Amino acid sequence: MRAHEAGALHADGYRGPAWLETPVDVNALVPSLWATSVRRGDDGVLSVAGVSASELAREFGTPAYIIDEDDFRSRARKFKQEYAAHFAPLAGADVFYAGKAFLCTEVARWIHAEGLNLDVCTGGELAVARRAGIPGSRIGMHGNNKSVAEIREGLEYGVSRIVVDSLEEIDRIARVAAELGVVAPVLVRVNVGVEAHTHEFIATAHEDQKFGLSLAGGQALEAVRRILDRPGTLSLLGLHSHIGSQIFDTSGFEVSARRVLGLHTAVTKEVGVELPELDLGGGFGIAYTTEHDPLPPARLASGMADIVERECRAEGITVPRISIEPGRAIAGPSTFTLYEVGTVKPVQLDGGASRVYVSVDGGMSDNIRTALYDANYSCTVAGRRSDADPVLARVVGRHCESGDIVVMDEFLPADVRAGDLIAVPGTGAYCRALSSQYNHTPRPPVVAVRDGAARVIVRRETIDDILALDV
């Protein structure tokens, strides 16, 4: 078939992407996409932890992020337990929750209570951690352009590690440490030249990007030498490598670990220093749609333990203590966003196909990922059962942008109408965290549900909040 000039979305007979199958039952839920407590009742209404979507909409309004607290905490706990178990025969492992995925004071408390450490990358995230009572010894600090003020705040609070991202930053951290009379614990972020198979702008280990110090170009080894030359102000804990996001197997980690452990070995043999730690980053994928098949924490931990042990044995070096940084894999599946439908508009496509545009009361201000990364999501009508046939739909937002799309392609019932509730799963990571006030739209609340009770953990923004910033 000749390609259509306007693209595949307008080609003859377009019926959505290849992975999107027409459902036999448009009311059916795909369990892998939802928090564990999400159910559909006999009346068709979704519930989470015993609270119905209709009740949540009535009490808290829409749009709203709805988080299953037990699901979030159990995912965090599972990562800690599995990595502890699989790395116990080696040198052990630490799990740092990547706060950039989603962070608020209550979530930070959950992470602390479940025994995880917390990774922050701004002074604002550090402030949340401090407010939640997380001690500095349980906090790691990232960032490619950390300010002097942020470095000082981190060192004053006693963070357990600062990840060095440039040669220039070495001097900056050393100066602040000297002023405070402390020795700053640091890791070197190594750019190992391994690119995760994800969208270009979230694949963070190839050479042409802003993060890390090049392994191939020698800057990473130079950073190690410069840090070791400052024993009075800097303490080198080890190396750090992060290869991207939405990773569904351990093959990328295998190549990454081999390369970064090669540098680890060079430091041991050439410089005479045995580094005690190695951080392999995060990026573990989740299921946003039926096309995704993520590995459970047990298989991730087992596979990574095998890789690290094998590579260290091949190099003839002692296995270092390992760190990982899951964020999305904990927060993402635990949350869905609840919207209300406003306008429904059928649109004819070329070749006799059609699509229904379903406009909801949120959009790119509460989920920018579809516009930013071409991310795919799923959704379902959440407030009733439908016996109508499935139709190809696109869920769009209320903002003045043609790219304001929440769900690119999904089958919804043909009778979808104004007033219906729409639930989009997998929105716990990088949705509230990347939210905005575009078109002066207040940001939604985050509502935690547990044991049949719901409570606000981040309140809804108001117009007064927005106007209060004007001077």
Active site residues: 400
Name the packing angle between helices 69-87 and 105-113 (round to 10°).
Answer: 40
**Is-contact 189 214, C-beta < 8 A?**
no
Q: Please state, as a whole number, how many other Cβ atoms lie within 10 Å of the Cβ of residue 345.
A: 11
Nearest-angstrom CA–CA distance, 185 and 160: 6
User: Residue 117 in 3-state DSSP?
Assistant: strand
**Residue 231: DSSP 8-state:** T
> What DSSP string describes 169-218?
HHHHHHHHHHHHT--EEEEEEEE-S---SS-GGG---SSSSSSSEESTTS
| Phi, psi angles (nearest 5°) of residue 271 | -100, -20
**Is-contact 282 324, C-beta < 8 A?**
yes
Amino acid at 221: L
Whole-angstrom CA distances from 62 to 23, 395, 398 are 27, 15, 13
Tell me the longest C-alpha to C-alpha distance in the chain. 73
H/E stretch holding 77: helix 69-87
Whole-angstrom CA distances from 242 to 194, 221, 318, 323 are 9, 17, 21, 11
H/E stretch holding 312: helix 297-315
Question: For 204, how many CA atoms within 13 A lie in the half-sphere containing its CB?
Answer: 22
